[in-house]
Structure 1
Amino acid sequence: MSIASEQATKGGTALSFENLSVSFETEFADVHAVKGLSLEVYPGEVVALVGESGSGKSVTSTAAIGLLPPNAYITGKALVGGVNVVGMPESKLRKMRATDIAMVFQEPMTALNPVLTIERQLTESLELHGLAYGKDATARAIELLEMVGIPEPRKRIKQYPHQFSGGQRQRIVIAMAISCDPKVIIADEPTTALDVTVQAEILDLLRELKDKLNTGILLITHNMGVVADLADRVAVMFRGSLVETGTVDQVLNHPEHPYTQKLLASVPRLAVMDVTDTWVPEPADVVDPDRKLVLEARNLVLEYDMRGSKFRAVDDVSFELGRGEILGIVGESGSGKSTVAKAVLGLLPVASGVLAVQGTNLAALRPKAARAIRAKIGVIFQDPAASLNPRFPIGDCITEPMVVHKVGNRASRTKRAQELLDAVHLPRTVMNRYPHELSGGQRQRICIARALTLDPELLIADEPTSALDVSVQAAVLEMIQELQESYEFACLFVSHDLAVVDLLAHNVVVMKDGKSVEQGRVTDVLHSPQHDYTRRLLAAAPVPEPGEQAERREARRLLMAMENPDS
């Protein structure tokens, strides 16, 4: 018997929606964001709500916690523990938040107050709801930090959010969410910005907590691997409507709706051999005598100046990248991936070693010569919204590099922008629109067009698809491959998504604590890993098939137990 049917016999949902509809009054017309949605989440159950941006997932969840803006018009019911919160006065809703329903937001740094200690933020809700005061509240806060796996909680509770890593901050947000023992937790993309190993730890933590506290969890995500790993049931949303629901096995392995099938077909799959298999390397490729090196690092050392003391972020790393090739750099946060990309862009000086673009050592260049080299480098950043000037129309965003490097006149720049819009499959009519008028996927296409404006020899892509839906991600990755075949640029692709690197890259460098621990062809490194750290990364990457993911989770647990026999 499933969890849902067991709980149904006992009676009582943790969270349920009955014919919920949400529309927003706008200047031009009403936007119908959620259309007659009905869904239940039972105690001790995880229900994943999946769909693309704009499908109504987050609007549904914010309706349950009473955080929709004033221009929202809501009909139907959103029941938290049997109590309808639609139309409830704000004073009553405030009392229900944290005690009955809590939320884990996508970005922990925006959910935490940067000027308050972790102690103050954890004890605040306990005191506000009259559950504990003073020393008792602090003791409970320490207990919560211990529960979510923060080391030395008595010492670290006095620290501020910026003194914790991204994964630790997300653990603290989860500690805040469970502080008042809520009946249901809404987790809105809780692992999107995290590395695969940290993501696996957060998912283990959520699984452990919902079993221990019998809390219902509504999980909002576009990562199908996370759904396979954590969810009991899945609900698929498309344009405000629920198009398919069922157990995780039914929806992921036997999808019925065409939209669900399309979503699952867009998920990049990581093909990994069993780490116990005997490794037989593929025959070496014949070295191309015409291979043209675009980027070369030899014994590269990069350092940050930390108030007089030096922090070595990259230590003795060497690699090569040729024309028409894609080199993936993978590793956890703090491994030095993005630091290498910054150095190539000239945003960080080279401490020692060689970092050469087209045979020219960047460390030995004067500013004017370095500027000329940078004109040959394009860059795509992780967050398209933050990397586009909101005051510039799209046409100006694309032609900005030509203006900076004084290339062409207004007519030739406009013509180039139109050509690039064609190349990234966007209509030329977007030239006069602004970034906020485009979707996330469209904005990332604009960033790709801008990166190609000056026909770069080298493209730096720093986590270019991590914030995108799976279908949009698939389209963007396909476009990068297509454009590379047309323009033949070399690409340095920084990512923590191993499946994306497996799909896109020819070669890969695995970094840990500033050092390269394994590198070579993708088919060798990701399919037959030799280093323990690479195996650990691969074991932590979730796959969108529930049975296989359960096996991988158990294999990862055994691998961790072998590496840490005393823990």
Structure 2
Amino acid sequence: MTIPTDATPSGLGGSEPAVLSFQDLEVQFATDLGEVRAVNGISMEVHPGEVLAVVGESGSGKSVTSMTALGLLPKNARIGGVVRVTEKDVRQLDARRLRQMRGKDVAMVFQEPQTALNPVLTIGDQLVEALQLHGVAYGNAAKRRAADLLAAVGIPEPARRLKQYPHELSGGQRQRVVIAMALSCDPKVIIADEPTTALDVTVQADILDLLRSLKEKLNTGILLITHNMGVVADMADRVAVMYQGDVVEVGSAEQVLVYPQHEYTRRLLDAVPRLGAGRAQLGIAAEAPPIITDEVPALEVKNAVVEYHRLGKPSFRAAEDVSFTVHQGEIVGLVGESGSGKSTMAKCALGILPPTSGTVAVYGEDFNRLKRKDRKALQKRIGVVFQDPAASLNPRVPVGDIIAEPMVIHKVGTKTERQRRVYELLEAVELPRAAFNRFPHELSGGQRQRVSIARALSLDPELLVADEPTSALDVSVQASVLKMFMTLQAEFRFACLFVSHDLAVIDMLAHHVVVMENGRVVEQGLREQVLHEPREEYTKRLLAAAPVPNPEEQRRRREQRHAMLAAFGDKVVEIGDVPHGPEGP
């Protein structure tokens, strides 16, 4: 389907030549089981100063389409049609000219900044390398430009950050570094593939402000790939909806999000969790199952303090006097920005990280006081879903063995019984049986997260610790996984500590909410009180930053958030003065 030219809003550069275009694009992959068709003859284009959002479920062809613009598809891909970046036909470029095009004409902001950045090189080395490879700047001039780029994307103390490694920065700071790298060679178009998936709501709002400023001030075209409809409403000028390799609907953001025409688009929008709708949305019963409060709590944290001791440096206190309780049958949502201490407390609950002082008890047992045998027995009662499936799944082990691993470790069932259980779990998280023998790299990000959830449920846990378990899932799969999650929770009454930056998901799932800031609990209570009638300024900031899937409403919310930030004395993040042109040594 070709996007009609009249769909380009005025003032978006529609009269200017497209900086990125796909004409009758087809992509097929040769596999051992035959050819797999990923993209079916689609056409669309991005103009200067315009954001085209491409949405759809995992496997719809979004990322495959974007990879053709960079010439990054594997050798088993067969490509048809025309892909142009500015005036260059990408398919006609040799390896040398492709390298020249990447960065200078088109740049990429990847989904996971931790994996997009080289962990053994400093931030400065990686920025300088890109500048020198493209002949933009050399030596001290390249270092100065690298520092200017970090400052332009809102990273404080840029000269010091140049000497740091990726793991020393927060998730939001790493994503800003990736954006700075994308800007380094003045590209005409930027492809942003899920640029805010792993970020908390306030950092996500800052990154979106940054990207919006980028396209307005530098007239950069942006191809935005996302499954977050709130992000689409906040950023997009036009929207293309992809389904099984086809573009099924296209139009302005308001046309697609407010007046969807295609059944698939309506289904996607119906699956979006709405902040304020509570547990009644998505067809889930409003009445939550009763919580058992007259027995030993599943998890009890009392006055916990956690410190990280660093060689030759002062200790870093990650959690300060934290207290909360998770009862059997209860879901407690733990929310806050990156670095607030959420994941630290999740690790304490798992017995991975002992508190410096205070207590963390699971079913009345303190991990620190148990012998190894008793610790293993207690850990059997706990399931865990980690935030980053790419890092938590062994790349050398097939999916079936990954899901069965907890059963093997705890000697549960025979090999046949474990295999049967794995197939049941694959079906529960909506993965095909064929995934049993696949490796993690053969799955999409959303599919890998589903494998993580299946592994966590393999031992029927009494306590589940879930650290951002749906962050990598598209909205429709997220909805089905959350329905499955709530059904299982109601049936088996397991307790759950649910860490998430998606406040709408927390609003749908949680009975109680705990809000953390800088290692401290600033507010906690019933979900209705904390999320619908917040008392603390910090909680209000979090709620104001959560996007909604309606362009007009989101525009009002964004203006209200900017007014709130101004009232609190904070500054809206935007692109600063980005240095242009080549520089000498």
Same fold (TM over 0.5): yes
Letter in 2 for 1:482: T
Structure 1 residue 312 corresponds to structure 2 residue 283: no
Displacement after TM superposition at 1:29 (Å): 1.4
Structure 1 residue 293 corresponds to structure 2 residue 289: no
Displacement after TM superposition at 1:133 (Å): 3.0
**Number of the residue aligned with 2:200:** 195
Displacement after TM superposition at 1:449 (Å): 4.3
**Number of the residue aligned with 1:345:** 350
Q: 1:497 aligns with which of 502, 509, 520?
A: 502
Q: 1:127 aligns with which of 124, 132, 157?
A: 132
Structure 1 residue 303 corresponds to structure 2 residue 303: no
Structure 1 residue 512 corresponds to structure 2 residue 517: yes
C-alpha contact 1:441 1:476 (8 A) present in aligned 2: no
2 CA distance for matches of 1:126 and 1:393? Answer: 39
1:139-192, CA deviations, whole angstroms, 9 ceiling, x for partnerless residues? 322222221111122333333333322212211221121122211111111111
**Number of the residue aligned with 2:527:** 522
Letter in 1 for 2:156: P
TM-score by length of 2: 0.87
SS in 1 for 2:31: coil
Displacement after TM superposition at 1:497 (Å): 1.1
C-alpha contact 2:277 2:508 (8 A) present in aligned 1: no
SS in 2 for 1:370: helix
Q: 1:433 aligns with which of 434, 437, 440?
A: 437
Displacement after TM superposition at 1:110 (Å): 2.5
1 CA distance for matches of 2:398 and 2:14? Answer: 57
C-alpha contact 2:8 2:252 (8 A) present in aligned 1: no
Displacement after TM superposition at 1:334 (Å): 1.4
Displacement after TM superposition at 1:9 (Å): 6.1
Assess, with a 3 A threshold, how the Cα gap between structure 1 residues 419 and 259 changes in structure 2: closer, same or farther.
closer
2 CA distance for matches of 1:68 and 1:411? Answer: 38
Q: 1:228 aligns with which of 208, 233, 236?
A: 233
Structure 1 residue 170 corresponds to structure 2 residue 156: no
Unaligned runs of 5+ in 1: 274-284
**Number of the residue aligned with 1:276:** none
Assess, with a 3 A threshold, how the Cα gap between structure 1 residues 122 and 404 changes in structure 2: closer, same or farther.
closer
Q: 1:105 aligns with which of 110, 133, 143?
A: 110
C-alpha contact 2:400 2:435 (8 A) present in aligned 1: yes
SS in 2 for 1:350: coil
SS in 2 for 1:86: helix
Q: 1:271 aligns with which of 276, 299, 306?
A: 276
C-alpha contact 1:300 1:318 (8 A) present in aligned 2: yes
Assess, with a 3 A threshold, how the Cα gap between structure 1 residues 291 and 369 changes in structure 2: closer, same or farther.
closer
Letter in 2 for 1:346: G
1:43-76, CA deviations, whole angstroms, 9 ceiling, x for partnerless residues? 1111001111111111111111222222222222
C-alpha contact 2:293 2:328 (8 A) present in aligned 1: no
Structure 1 residue 153 corresponds to structure 2 residue 158: yes
Please show how residues 56-455 of structure 1 align to structure 2 within 5 Å: 56-271=61-276, 290=294, 293-307=297-311, 309-384=314-389, 386-389=391-394, 396-410=401-415, 413=418, 433-436=437-440, 444-455=449-460
Structure 1 residue 44 corresponds to structure 2 residue 49: yes
SS in 2 for 1:11: coil
Greater shift in the superposed pair: 255-264 or 165-174: 165-174
SS in 2 for 1:334: coil
1 CA distance for matches of 2:224 and 2:12? Answer: 18
Letter in 1 for 2:103: A
Assess, with a 3 A threshold, how the Cα gap between structure 1 residues 69 and 415 changes in structure 2: closer, same or farther.
closer
C-alpha contact 2:128 2:142 (8 A) present in aligned 1: yes
1:348-367, CA deviations, whole angstroms, 9 ceiling, x for partnerless residues? 11222222222233343333
Displacement after TM superposition at 1:426 (Å): 6.7
**Number of the residue aligned with 1:281:** none
Assess, with a 3 A threshold, how the Cα gap between structure 1 residues 289 and 214 changes in structure 2: closer, same or farther.
closer
2 CA distance for matches of 1:268 and 1:497? Answer: 9
**Count of residue pairs brought into register by the alignment:** 555
**Number of the residue aligned with 2:492:** 487
TM-score by length of 1: 0.90
2 CA distance for matches of 1:179 and 1:450? Answer: 41
Displacement after TM superposition at 1:384 (Å): 4.3
Assess, with a 3 A threshold, how the Cα gap between structure 1 residues 84 and 5 changes in structure 2: closer, same or farther.
farther
1:324-381, CA deviations, whole angstroms, 9 ceiling, x for partnerless residues? 1100111111111111111121111122222222223334333332222222212222
SS in 2 for 1:13: coil
Displacement after TM superposition at 1:2 (Å): 7.6
Letter in 2 for 1:349: P
Greater shift in the superposed pair: 64-73 or 300-309: 300-309
C-alpha contact 2:292 2:328 (8 A) present in aligned 1: no
C-alpha contact 2:16 2:48 (8 A) present in aligned 1: no
Displacement after TM superposition at 1:420 (Å): 5.4
SS in 1 for 2:206: helix
Assess, with a 3 A threshold, how the Cα gap between structure 1 residues 151 and 444 changes in structure 2: closer, same or farther.
closer
Assess, with a 3 A threshold, how the Cα gap between structure 1 residues 5 and 22 changes in structure 2: closer, same or farther.
farther
Greater shift in the superposed pair: 114-123 or 85-94: 114-123
SS in 2 for 1:103: strand
Assess, with a 3 A threshold, how the Cα gap between structure 1 residues 420 and 141 changes in structure 2: closer, same or farther.
closer
1:403-440, CA deviations, whole angstroms, 9 ceiling, x for partnerless residues? 3334455566566556656766778x569634547666
C-alpha contact 1:272 1:528 (8 A) present in aligned 2: no
Between the two structures, name the one with larger relative contact order (CA 8 Å, sep ≥ 6).
2
1:96-133, CA deviations, whole angstroms, 9 ceiling, x for partnerless residues? 22222111111223322333333333233333333333
Letter in 2 for 1:373: L
1 CA distance for matches of 2:43 and 2:436? Answer: 40
C-alpha contact 1:327 1:491 (8 A) present in aligned 2: yes
Greater shift in the superposed pair: 172-181 or 206-215: 172-181
Displacement after TM superposition at 1:512 (Å): 0.9
What is the RMSD computed on CA atoms of the aligned residues?
2.8
Greater shift in the superposed pair: 123-132 or 437-446: 437-446
Displacement after TM superposition at 1:216 (Å): 0.6
Displacement after TM superposition at 1:137 (Å): 2.9
**Number of the residue aligned with 1:22:** 27
1 CA distance for matches of 2:131 and 2:58? Answer: 34
C-alpha contact 2:13 2:50 (8 A) present in aligned 1: no
Letter in 1 for 2:529: D
Unaligned runs of 5+ in 2: 1-5, 279-288, 573-585
1 CA distance for matches of 2:430 and 2:77? Answer: 34
C-alpha contact 2:293 2:327 (8 A) present in aligned 1: no
Assess, with a 3 A threshold, how the Cα gap between structure 1 residues 159 and 396 changes in structure 2: closer, same or farther.
closer
1 CA distance for matches of 2:236 and 2:291? Answer: 47
C-alpha contact 1:4 1:42 (8 A) present in aligned 2: no
Greater shift in the superposed pair: 83-92 or 170-179: 83-92
1:486-515, CA deviations, whole angstroms, 9 ceiling, x for partnerless residues? 111111111111111111111010011111
Greater shift in the superposed pair: 93-102 or 493-502: 93-102
